Amino acid sequence: MEATLTGPIMYLLIVWGIVTATFLALLLWRSILTTHEDDQLCIDAAGELVAQEQRELIAKITRLSKPIATSGITAGALLLVIAGMWLYEGLKSF
């Protein structure tokens, strides 16, 4: 088993760890941003500043959706590649 975790599989595990950590950090950041989002705002002329802040917050959350999806898909694909390589190495030595 130790022999299969050297070489390319080890490097892929390191890359997968970095991508997964990035994915989780982005999810955490989006979660923090959404806690500051209000569901409804009663806005009058004096509340325009609050409305602008909410629009900016929603724009930030929207911009995070593509990096979150990309890093999640990349982490999943890397995990599948690592599992396939590990199984291939195991079957080859069997």
**What number of other Cβ atoms are within 10 A of residue 23's Cβ?**
20
Q: Residue ranges of the domains in the chain? A: 2-93
Question: Which parts of the chain register pLDDT below 70?
Answer: 1-4, 37-43, 46
**What's the distance, CA 8 to chain centroid?**
23
- Average pLDDT over the chain, rounded to whole? 87
Pure H helices in 1-47: 8-35
Contact 38, 54 (CB under 8 A): yes
Contact 48, 90 (CB under 8 A): no
Phi-psi region of 44 (alpha: psi -120 to 50; beta: other; left: phi over 0): beta
- What is the value of pTM for the model shown? 0.81
pLDDT digits over 69-78, tens only? 999 999 999 9
Q: Tell me how far apart the alpha carbons of residues 37 and 80 are, in angstroms, rounded to a whole number.
A: 36
